[in-house]
Amino acid sequence: MVQIKPFSAMLFDLDGTLVDTAPDLAFALNLLLEQQGKQSLAYELIRPVASHGSPALLALAFGIDKEHPDFPALQKRFIQIYQDNIDRESALFDGMEAVLQSLESADIPWGIVTNKPAFLTEPLVEKLSLKQRAHCIVSADTTPYSKPHPAPMLYACDKINIPSSECIYIGDAERDIQAGRNTQMQTVAALYGYVGANDDVASWQADYTINHPLDLLQWI
């Protein structure tokens, strides 16, 4: 068993860490491609990009960035499709419900810190019956900054009234680990999430790595 320092709260990234949202993001992206008269993409190509938001997904599908004149309209349509299908298949990762129940049984508060905007975060956690269970939900626009900036992490700590040094943060992207490190949290890289083949996870310098949500039970 890997030893971990004592902690008082556990915070999670949302997409690719707590909830498997890639199927619905992929559905929305492929429907948009179809509406634009283009071929759909294989799920295996979309999944590793799912944590990185609509700009990365549109770059993958259409080869454009935010400066492209077609970007605003495509982004608006993509977000609308996704919003209309936000809980079509999205669900907690396998084993995550057991983790949350164990935290709750041990009276360890848990929360969410995500770069997903609130207008998408709130309905998703509501539909998954997580809103009343989480001690804090921090979205991309809750503070003026998003991860890896420390502001959302510190806001979460303030909401649960626990110092950042007593929190552990789990995420599946480099910015998640940077955000945790920027606030002196212990960090865990979720290798079961949307980690790409070219991601050098070792360079993220997470304190720990896990291959499955149930790996967290050893520390609760």
Cβ(11)–Cβ(108) below 8 Å: no
Distances (CA, A) of 41 to 46, 47, 191: 7, 10, 23
Alpha-carbon distance 2 to 123, whole Å? 36
CA atoms of 40 and 77, how far apart (whole Å): 16
Helices of type H across 49-95: 53-62, 71-84
State yes or no: pLDDT of 1 exceeds 70.
no
Q: Side chain identity at 146, as an amino acid letter?
A: S
Which residues are designated catalytic?
Answer: 13
- pLDDT of residue 29 exceeding 70, the answer is yes
Distances in Å between the Cα of 61 and the Cα atoms of 64, 90, 182, 193, 219 are: 8, 21, 32, 21, 40
Residue 203, pLDDT above cutoff 90: yes
For range 55-77, the mean pLDDT: 95
Query: Any residues with CB less than 8 A from the CB of 180 and at least 6 apart, and which?
Result: 153, 169, 171, 186, 187, 206
Is 128 a residue whose pLDDT tops 70? yes
User: What CATH superfamily classification does 9-20+91-219 receive?
Assistant: HAD superfamily/HAD-like (3.40.50.1000)
β-strand partners of 205? none
Name 217's Cβ contacts closer than 8 Å, sequence gap at least 6. Answer: 98, 99, 102
Residue 2 confidence (pLDDT) above 80: no
pLDDT at 192: 97
By CB neighbour count within 10 A (0-12 exposed, 13-18 middle, 19+ buried), where does 203 fall?
exposed
pLDDT in tens, 131-184: 999 999 999 999 999 999 999 999 999 999 999 999 999 999 999 999 999 999
pLDDT, mean of residues 65-93? 96
Question: For all residues of the chain together, what is the average pLDDT?
Answer: 96
- Looking up tokens 């890289």 gives 189
Average pLDDT, integer, range 9-13: 98
